[in-house]
């Protein structure tokens, strides 16, 4: 049985101790969790930016609807004045 070695120095097919195997699995899992946390943070930032953009669009739509209503009312007044 081979003695435990560093990952970089190991030859394919060499055996490692169960504790080393568990440690490596734990390292891989920890790295995967770190990457998922980074992705989650970026997704949250993207969500917040998108939410702000939607809110800005909603405000703009409301403003444009008010402007359109005012223009319609003004048009009706002018038509009534012309009659």
pLDDT band at 83 (very low <50, low <70, confident <90, very high): confident
Domain spans in the chain, listed from the N-terminal domain onward: 15-82
C-alpha 3/C-alpha 24 separation (Å) is: 16
pLDDT at 2 exceeding the cut of 50: no
pLDDT at 7 exceeding the cut of 80: no
Q: What is the pTM of this model?
A: 0.58
User: With the C-alpha atoms ordered 5, 11, 16, 20, is the resulting torsion angle positive or negative?
Assistant: positive
Mean pLDDT of the chain: 89
Give mean pLDDT, residues 9-22.
Answer: 84
39-62 pLDDT per residue, tens: 999 999 999 999 999 999 999 999
Distance of CA 75 to the CA centre of its chain: 46
């Amino acid at each position: 049985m081979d003695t435990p070695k560093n990952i970089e120095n190991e030859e394919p097919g060499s055996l490692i101790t169960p504790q080393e195997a568990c440690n490596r699995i734990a390292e891989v899992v920890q790295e995967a969790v770190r990457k998922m946390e980074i992705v989650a943070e970026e997704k949250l930032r993207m969500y917040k930016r998108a939410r702000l953009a939607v809110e800005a669009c909603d405000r703009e739509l409301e403003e444009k609807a008010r402007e359109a209503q005012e223009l319609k009312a003004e048009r009706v007044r002018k038509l009534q004045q012309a009659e």
